[in-house]
Amino acid sequence: MNSSTCRRVAAPFLAALALLATLALAAGANAAPNPKATASVIGGHNATIAEYPSLAFIEGVQATAGYACTGTVVAPRVILTAGHCVEDIESSSIVEPGLIAVATGVSNLQKIQRTQISQVERVLAYPGFDPTELHGDAGLLILTAPVTAPPIALATGADAALYEPGDELTVAGWGIDNRATGHAPNQLQAATVPIEEASRCREGTRRYYPFFDATRQVCALDAPHFHITTCHGDSGGPAIATRPDGTPVEVGVTSLGDGSCNPASPAVFTRVDQISSWVQSWIDAVESGGQAPRVKVPKAHIPTLTRERAEEISGLAMEEAFGAEFAHGQEKTIKCNRVDKARLRCGVTWFQGPNDYFGKVTVFFAIRHNVVLAGVHYKVNWVNDQCYFHSGHPQACKVETKEK
């Protein structure tokens, strides 16, 4: 069970280009590991660069594998993307600039020209990025030379009206467009999805992400159709709204979602109005020679797992494992005891129909695949109540077991 799944994906889309081949050779054994993020658009449609001229495709390379993210041009030499696309959360290290390439001015990855590929000279994570809870999930790539792609406008505090529930957001990116097959198209995909109410965001993400914060994040849900969502490969891509004067404005940065890219679960975005002043300060420094902001590398840590959260996760795990046998069970009891800061062991009991169920569930937090995951191990037994407790011959009764 994932507490969250970022929207970055491993994908060698630019591998055929000489530049990326060179980067792959340069990665070497000492390369800093890259984040394992995820995102493209499920239920989207083919889109052109003329429709979304600020879109940027980002590929990183390490010694054994690469990853792909999406970004936006926010100034001639500045690309906005997700924080988890630029920082390895497990080691709290920023990805080396030489291990990233950016393509702009193109929507089909098979038609990228050498002149459309930019090198990166500096990689920055938003200083307020919390790698543990994925709050402030934003980062910047500073290019070695300007690109001709037009910058997209960024939401500020004056754009609060663009975050109202029901307002439509356009999401765009490259990556998986079929969650059953894992197919990732070469053509840019885009779709429109409505903003969801904060309370429903919190409820809709609780199975896989317990940290939703409406002051820093916004979520979208394609209700009631449930056809559209972001997926592995859209990380760092934009959620775009339209100002009253018709100006497209980036209000969200694609951050995370359900691990299976299920459109019935909300997709979560970093609120751009909360990070745009930091972005602007770097734009001023890079483009106009202003003073560069202080650089901070956010540090990741495994959060304390509360007893209440462990009991909730245990219940969700039992419901997933046993379905109606647990959901309709009677006298359900879950009691957890702490093993350490991020691990609890829980006893579970219930009965349903003729059977009694009893067992242990271990719930833990861990950093894996560049996100904080909630892991579950369990071993649950069940017996026929009449046979085991009333026949007088419990040793002859069958004990069945399910474990993970």
Give the helix/strand (H/E) hosting 366: strand 355-368
Q: Examine residue 301 and state whether it is found in any structural domain, yes or no.
A: no
CATH of the domain at 128: 2.40.10.10
d(CA 26, CA 11): 18
> 3-class DSSP state for residue 321?
helix
Residue 161 shares a structural domain with residue 58 = yes
Q: Examine residue 272 and state whether it is found in any structural domain, yes or no.
A: yes
Residues of the chain scoring pLDDT < 70: 1-40, 61-66, 368-371
Which of 192, 135, 182, 165 is CA-nearest to residue 4? 135
- From 288, 320, 347, give the residue that closes a domain: 288
For residue 23, the model assigns a pLDDT of: 25
For residue 39, the model assigns a pLDDT of: 39
Residue 35 shares a structural domain with residue 166 = yes
Residue 124 shares a structural domain with residue 231 = yes
For residue 31, the model assigns a pLDDT of: 30
Q: Which domain holds residue 146?
A: 5-288
Q: In which region does residue 303 sit, left (phi positive, over 0), alpha (psi from -120 to 50) or beta (all else)?
A: beta
Which of 194, 216, 351, 191 is CA-nearest to residue 276? 216
How many domains does the structure of the chain reveal? 2
For residue 371, the model assigns a pLDDT of: 66
For residue 385, the model assigns a pLDDT of: 94
> 3-class DSSP state for residue 324?
helix
For residue 61, the model assigns a pLDDT of: 56
Residue 26 shares a structural domain with residue 126 = yes
For residue 228, the model assigns a pLDDT of: 87
d(CA 286, CA 302): 34
